[in-house]
């Protein structure tokens, strides 16, 4: 058993509490990881607000981390102590029908298929003050040590800087892949990106890498426009400055609507606006943002009847264990610069300050260092 620091969420709506926790050794098929760095993602904030499905408190959050294997359980062959790894919030078991389908990146062992507030054997490896603490998406990177199933671990290049590539565990990969893999943005096309947080700006980077000729960034926070333009946006618009609905503005700007639109906020009204802003026949709208648990969207069926495509994207369409190591290699080859998304680097003890920066719209990504 290892004693270490972790940020425990004891209840929804309360600040995280940095505590000493006990982390049990890995059982068969499990890996114990020393987390070196972890990003703060909006999904963690979603849980703290009580808006994420199937999470039980107390819980250790965090799902965008990178670290070093400390020990492995019986039967683990893909990683060994000392390996640099990224724990995966979307597993790849390699055996289910989705994993075996080359066109799918989903895994039936994902949290969307079955609640994952414990490890697969329905027990926890975390205790604090004599209480059992739940896991989050099997990764729980807001702990100095965490235990995950082997099929939720990606071994990465030993040259990778962990304080930078941790973003590839969720935010960057999700947005970049939504453009590259899910939408399959074509060279010369027009794109609109709703929401300029870490994920939305990664969509902008993906659209640029795919050769889009026009990338229109949409956000009510104009402080994010300079970063959006640095990353490839050609136009930036705040809906608050528009006299018409934003979908009408985008349609007028492009003649018939954009070729691809992306919603990276997680609000029903912006989902509809994003769908209506792409052209009515061949336009593709990708849902990347996460709506509150239990949300529903009602829409005019004519938005789809004329031929538009509306699709969702989970972790950017990447088969995680196969593709995240390749993305890390691309990062090292300077094919993209995800470092530009990191606006704050904080010691782990300042985890709550990191969340305050997120809520205030003052950060793109804050990275916590142990």
pTM above 0.95, yes or no: yes
User: H helices within the chain, ranges in order?
Assistant: 42-48, 97-100, 162-165, 171-177, 198-209, 225-231, 246-254, 268-277, 302-305, 320-332, 351-359
β partners of residue 311: 286
What letters, b where the CB count within 10 A reaches 16 and e where it falls short, cover 209-242?
bbebebbbbbbeeeebbebbeebbbbbbbebeee
User: Are 262 and 140 part of one and the same domain?
Assistant: no
Q: Residue 49 belongs to what domain range?
A: 2-171+317-369
Residue 341 in tokens: 């998304």
User: Are 307 and 322 part of one and the same domain?
Assistant: no
Cα(206)–Cα(198) distance, integer angstroms: 12
User: Are 162 and 194 part of one and the same domain?
Assistant: no
Half-sphere exposure in the Cβ direction for 100 (13 Å, CA): 3
pLDDT digits (tens, 9 = 90+) for 118-162: 999 999 999 999 999 999 999 999 999 999 999 999 999 999 999
CATH number at residue 282: 3.40.50.720
User: Are 30 and 120 part of one and the same domain?
Assistant: yes
User: Are 129 and 164 part of one and the same domain?
Assistant: yes
User: Are 151 and 192 part of one and the same domain?
Assistant: no
User: Are 144 and 14 part of one and the same domain?
Assistant: yes
User: Are 204 and 287 part of one and the same domain?
Assistant: yes
User: Are 239 and 156 part of one and the same domain?
Assistant: no
Q: Which residue has the tokens 């899910």?
A: 182
User: Are 202 and 329 part of one and the same domain?
Assistant: no
As a whole number of Å, the end-to-end CA separation of the chain is: 19
Half-sphere exposure in the Cβ direction for 367 (13 Å, CA): 24
Work out how many domains the chain is built from and give that number: 2
Tell me which residue of 135, 127, 119 sits closest to 47, measured CA to CA: 135
Residue 141 in tokens: 């990177």
Cα(282)–Cα(16) distance, integer angstroms: 45
pLDDT digits (tens, 9 = 90+) for 171-224: 999 999 999 999 999 999 999 999 999 999 999 999 999 999 999 999 999 999
Q: 315 φ, ψ to 5°?
A: 45, 40
Radius of gyration of the chain (CA): 20
pLDDT by residue, tens only, the chain of 370 residues: 999 999 999 999 999 999 999 999 999 999 999 999 999 999 999 999 988 888 899 999 999 999 999 999 999 999 999 999 999 999 999 999 999 999 999 999 988 877 778 999 999 999 999 999 999 999 999 999 999 999 999 999 999 999 999 999 999 999 999 999 999 999 999 999 999 999 999 999 999 999 999 999 999 999 999 999 999 999 999 999 999 999 999 999 999 999 999 999 999 999 999 999 999 999 999 999 999 888 899 999 999 999 999 999 999 999 999 999 999 999 999 999 999 999 999 999 999 999 999 999 999 999 999 9
User: Are 34 and 155 part of one and the same domain?
Assistant: yes
Is 274 within 8 Å of 195 (Cβ atoms)?
A: no
């Amino acid at each position: 058993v290892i004693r270490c620091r972790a940020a425990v969420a004891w209840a929804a709506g309360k600040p995280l509490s940095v505590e000493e926790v006990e982390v049990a050794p890995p059982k068969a098929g499990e890996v114990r990881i020393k987390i070196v760095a972890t990003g703060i993602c909006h999904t963690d904030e979603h849980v703290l607000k009580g808006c994420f499905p199937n999470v039980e408190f107390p819980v250790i959050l965090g799902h965008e981390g990178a670290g070093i294997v400390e020990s492995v359980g019986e039967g683990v062959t893909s990683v060994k102590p000392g390996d640099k790894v990224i724990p995966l919030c979307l597993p790849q078991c390699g055996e289910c029908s989705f994993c075996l389908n080359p066109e799918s990146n989903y895994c039936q062992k994902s949290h969307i298929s079955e609640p994952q507030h414990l490890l697969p054997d329905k027990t926890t490896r975390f205790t604090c003050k004599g209480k059992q603490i739940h896991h989050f998406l099997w990764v729980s990177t807001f702990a100095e040590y965490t235990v995950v199933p082997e099929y939720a671990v990606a071994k990465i290049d030993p040259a990778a800087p962990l304080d930078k590539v941790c973003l590839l565990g969720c935010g960057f990969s999700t947005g970049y892949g939504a453009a590259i893999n899910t939408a399959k943005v074509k060279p010369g096309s027009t794109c609109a990106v709703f929401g300029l947080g870490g994920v939305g700006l990664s969509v902008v980077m993906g659209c640029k890498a795919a050769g889009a000729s026009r990338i229109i960034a949409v956000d009510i926070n104009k402080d994010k426009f300079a970063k959006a333009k640095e990353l490839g946006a050609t136009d930036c618009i705040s809906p608050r400055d528009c006299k018409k609905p934003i979908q009408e503005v985008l349609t007028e700007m492009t003649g018939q609507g954009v070729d691809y639109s992306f919603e990276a906020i997680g609000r029903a009204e912006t989902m509809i606006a994003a769908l209506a802003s792409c052209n009515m026949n061949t336009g593709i709208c990708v849902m990347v943002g996460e709506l509150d648990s239990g949300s529903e969207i009602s829409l005019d069926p004519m938005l789809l009847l004329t031929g538009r495509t509306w699709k969702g994207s989970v972790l950017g369409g990447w088969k995680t264990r196969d593709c995240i190591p390749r993305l890390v290699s691309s990062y090292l080859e300077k094919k993209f610069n995800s470092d530009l998304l990191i606006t704050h680097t904080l010691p782990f003890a300042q985890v709550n300050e990191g969340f305050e920066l997120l809520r205030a719209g003052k950060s793109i990504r804050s990275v916590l260092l142990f």
